[in-house]
Amino acid sequence: MPDTANPAPMNAPSRRKFRREGEERRRQDLIEATLDSVAEHGLQGATLRTIALRAGVTAGLIRHYFPGKEELLQEAYTTLVGRMTEQAKAALVMEDASPRQRLAAFITANLNAPIIDARVFSLWATFIGRANADPALAHAHREGYLGFRNEVEAVVADVLAAERRKADASQLRHHAIAINAIIDGLWIEGCLAGEMFSPGELAAIGIRAVEAELGLAPPKHDPEP
Amino acid sequence: MPDTANPAPMNAPSRRKFRREGEERRRQDLIEATLDSVAEHGLQGATLRTIALRAGVTAGLIRHYFPGKEELLQEAYTTLVGRMTEQAKAALVMEDASPRQRLAAFITANLNAPIIDARVFSLWATFIGRANADPALAHAHREGYLGFRNEVEAVVADVLAAERRKADASQLRHHAIAINAIIDGLWIEGCLAGEMFSPGELAAIGIRAVEAELGLAPPKHDPEP
DNA sequence: AGTCTATTTATACACTTGCACAACAAGGCC
DNA sequence: GGCCTTGTTGTGCAAGTGTATAAATAGACT
């Protein structure tokens, strides 16, 4: 392979060809390339040149869309968090289903692809590892966590109401914290060592653990006639 | 402030004074300085010069003890994992206590200081975020995880035996996975947002969730006369 | 087709990084 | 005390970093 990919016949100092993409598209591509780079090489390996290469542009262009690397990373993280919470909550918008079914579906959705995903986990861990030093990161996490937990708490309240059981705010909060922990813990293991579990196993474990936490009677099997 | 901290009266090219520490001591100091640097500035900020500064030596010395930065980071991670698992398991070596008490003590120990610790969490997240790309890291995590889970499984078996309940291997495994997830999930939240929980609250939530998972009857309060 | 503008490339620059190596001195040994 | 080993420092270097800026050109508009 020649040392230049330029097919120009003469060694005229020809420039690289390029296309002008829409602004929003370019920004989106750059953010995606950033997330890819961070997931693959970590924060240290995500250099402007690496990111630009992945996005199919040259490094200088990044400065045209972002004031600096810091801001690019910040926007990339915001995008990631938004995507994660959006996906996680999407499983809750089932109409015409019993609260208990909605809860089970929520757990199942959170413990299978695409939420169980090694790349997303890498990104989450890489960024959250900086939360101590970066208050903005810590704040973003807390927002996402509390939003998630509130969703859980609402479903739990529905489930208990449907079972005609009363629970005060403190009990509700504890249930939500525990259920959140169960989902988070199983999510981590699924992402880190997915092949150690058979398909659907994590979701089954999660549902059982959550229902035990709420003191729900185990569901009946189809009774023998 | 003068641009040199050297109190030498003349500008003779005097060298910095130094002491020869024992080999093991120096290595330990360098590893500790590495962990501090990673926790504070992330992998990208943990440069040889930063680490050396923290350890009170100059950068060149690191090469005398480690073949390269890579190996230093690897040894630092090994040290970290060893310390974490050691602490976590230490709570299990209670003689003369009922299995249920040992389980509760285990959970309590894992959900309070020093295991709930923002610095350790930062380190864990930073390193584990590279597990996808680095098989050595992934392997180290899996070893630690499985070791931890086996400990949990053993205690669970004891607890169920004491309650005269039988559980097959599959049920035992599922219990261990779920309990591990509960502890992990609560550990993360405690590390990331410890001030959101009152002292002992996480442990109380964890114990309740685990006992529910195992189907243990809630402990009696002091009965009214 | 010609013009114009803002997207994109390319180059330059100051700075940092990990690593190599020569000079040096701390502390044990005689 | 004098010497010798080796732990330790200081300096140098090539590669890579983020940022700044000039030069080029794609594509819309007339």
Using the predicted structure, report yes or no on whether residue A13 has a pLDDT greater than 70.
no
Q: Which of residues 51-110 of A touch B (CB under 8 A)?
A: none
pLDDT confidence of residue B13? 61
At B22 the pLDDT is 87
Amino acid A39: pLDDT:
97
The pLDDT tens digits of the residues spanning B155-185 come to: 999 999 999 999 999 999 999 999 999 999 9
CATH H-level superfamily of B74-213 = Tetracycline Repressor, domain 2 (1.10.357.10)
Q: Which residues of B touch A131 (CB under 8 A)?
A: 122, 192
Distance, CA of B31 to C1' of D9, in Å: 20
Locate A45 and state its tokens.
């390996």
Q: What is the CATH number of domain B20-66?
A: 1.10.10.60
**Residue A219 pLDDT grade (very low, low, confident, very high; cuts 50, 70, 90):** confident
Quickly count: other Cβ atoms within 10 Å of residue A193's Cβ: 16
Q: Do B125 and A125 touch (CB under 8 A)?
A: yes
CB B1 within 8 A of CB B89: no
Angle, in degrees to the nearest 10, between helices B201-213 and B99-110: 140
pLDDT, greater one: A22 or A152: A152
Contacts of B141-145 with C-beta under 8 Å, sequence gap 24+, read: B141/A192, B141/B81, B142/A192, B142/A193, B144/B81, B144/B84, B144/B85, B145/A189, B145/A192, B145/A193, B145/B180
Contact (Cβ atoms closer than 8 angstroms) between residue A86 and residue A146:
no
ipTM of predicted assembly, 2 dp: 0.89
User: Looking at the C1' of nucleotide C27, which residue has the nearest alpha carbon?
Assistant: B20
Residue B156 CA to residue B172 CA, distance in Å, equals 7
Instruction: Give the pLDDT score at B1.
Output: 41
- Can A19-66 and A74-214 be said to share one CATH topology? no
Per-residue pLDDT at A6: 38
> Residue B219's pLDDT is what?
73
- % pLDDT > 70, chain B: 92
Residue A178's pLDDT is what? 98
pLDDT band of B224, cuts 50, 70, 90? low
CATH superfamily of A74-214: Tetracycline Repressor, domain 2 (1.10.357.10)
Q: Answer yes or no: is pLDDT of A31 > 80.
A: yes
Residues 6+ apart with CB under 8 A from A34: A46, A51, A72, A73, A76
Contact with chain B for residue A129, Cβ under 8 A: yes
Task: Cis check for the bond before B114: say yes or no (omega within 30 of 0).
Answer: yes
CATH: 3.40.50.850, 3.40.50.150, 1.10.10.60, 1.20.120.80. Which one for A19-66? 1.10.10.60
Mean pLDDT of B197-225: 86
With pLDDT > 90 as the criterion, what percentage of chain A qualifies?
74
Residue B114 has a CB neighbour count (10 Å cut-off) of 10
Going by the DSSP 8-state scheme, the letter that residue B59 receives in this structure is G
**pLDDT attached to residue A223:** 53
The average pLDDT across A166-195 equals 96
Write the DSSP symbol of residue B98.
Answer: -
What mean pLDDT is predicted for residues B85-90? 86
Please tell me the predicted confidence (pLDDT) of residue B2: 42
Of A129 and A22, more confident: A129
Q: Answer with the residue of higher pLDDT: B66 or A92.
A: B66
Of A33-37, A135-139, A184-188, give the lowest mean pLDDT range.
Answer: A135-139
Domain spans in chain B, listed from the N-terminal domain onward: 20-66, 74-213
